[in-house]
Amino acid sequence: MISETDRSSRSGLLGPVFLATLLVFCVTACGSKSEAQLASDALQAGLQAQTAGNLDQAATDYKECLKHDSMNKFCLYDLGTVAQAQNLPVAAENDYRLALVTDPNYAPALYNLAILRTQAGDPAEAITLYRQYVKLMPNDAAGHFNLGLLLNQTGDTTEGSSEIAEALKLDPSLSSRLPSPSPSSPGISPSPSPSTSPRVQTSPGPSAQPSAS
């Protein structure tokens, strides 16, 4: 039989042990970050690496972000910009499309995907993407300009001229990027491919997600 003295002695020992265990658990649990915070940290690391020109590290960081938030549109888009910069259009397009699954109106992904579809020889989808883009970003001259050139290229010169006029109203400097008129067909001749860098770069740049609270 256990005496009252033994019981008291054991109770006295278990108390501090229990408290110490509880303290360790609390420190571990309270100090751990949420998945959203881990994703945000990885995204910020990727942005820093990409800004510094370290694209491989940026891609690694963005993939780490996606481990914690698989459909984070910012991580997907930024991973796409890295792939696009590395001349990996298929990978870039996949990333942009996934970003648009998360947010169908994510303008930067629409713009870059339109560029890729133009380069892939698919002006029909590129036009659709640019139209959606300029609805979301009506004051972006580059979107109107690229859309106008594509429309002219496909024969829709009425809408194409209207879009180019809107682009020039927003940014008159784009007039220097207009294709030269053909002697046999007055006006703006179709361009073999829309401009990819008036005011907006080919890759508008990495996008930062708001920090997790």
Chain segment 57-115, per-residue pLDDT in tens: 999 999 999 999 999 999 999 999 999 999 999 999 999 999 999 999 999 999 999 99
Q: Rounded distance, CA 111 to CA 129, Å?
A: 7
The radius of gyration of the chain's CA atoms, rounded to the nearest angstrom, is: 27
Give long-range contacts, CB 8 A cutoff, 24+ apart: 46-49: 46/75, 46/78, 46/206, 47/78, 47/206, 47/208
CA-closest candidate to residue 96, choices 116, 114, 76, 117? 76
CB 26 within 8 A of CB 46: no
Q: What gap in Å lies between CA 99 and CA 108, rounded to an integer?
A: 10
**What's the pLDDT tens digit per position in 29-65?**
455 889 889 999 999 999 999 989 999 999 999 999 9
Distance, CA of 178 to CA of 2 (rounded, Å): 97
What tokens were used for 177?
């990027």
Q: In the chain, what is the greatest distance between 2 CA atoms, to the nearest angstrom?
A: 112
CA 109/CA 106 separation, integer angstroms: 6
Segment 145-184, tens digit of pLDDT? 999 999 999 999 999 999 999 999 999 999 988 887 654 4
The per-residue DSSP string of 164-193 comes to HHHHHHH-GGGGGGSPPPBTTB-SPPPPSS
What confidence score (pLDDT) does residue 178 get? 87
Tell the CATH topology of 34-95: 1.25.40
Residue ranges of the chain assigned to CATH 1.25.40.10: 105-179+189-200
CB 150 within 8 A of CB 130: yes
Predicted local confidence at residue 16, as pLDDT = 53
What pTM value is reported for the model?
Answer: 0.74
What's the half-sphere exposure (Cβ side, CA atoms, 13 Å) at 118?
27
pLDDT of 3 > 60? The answer is no
The answer regarding whether domain 105-179+189-200 maps to CATH 3.40.50.10580 reads: no
Pure H helices in the chain: 4-31, 35-51, 55-68, 73-85, 89-102, 107-119, 123-136, 141-153, 157-170
User: Has residue 24 got a pLDDT over 70?
Assistant: no
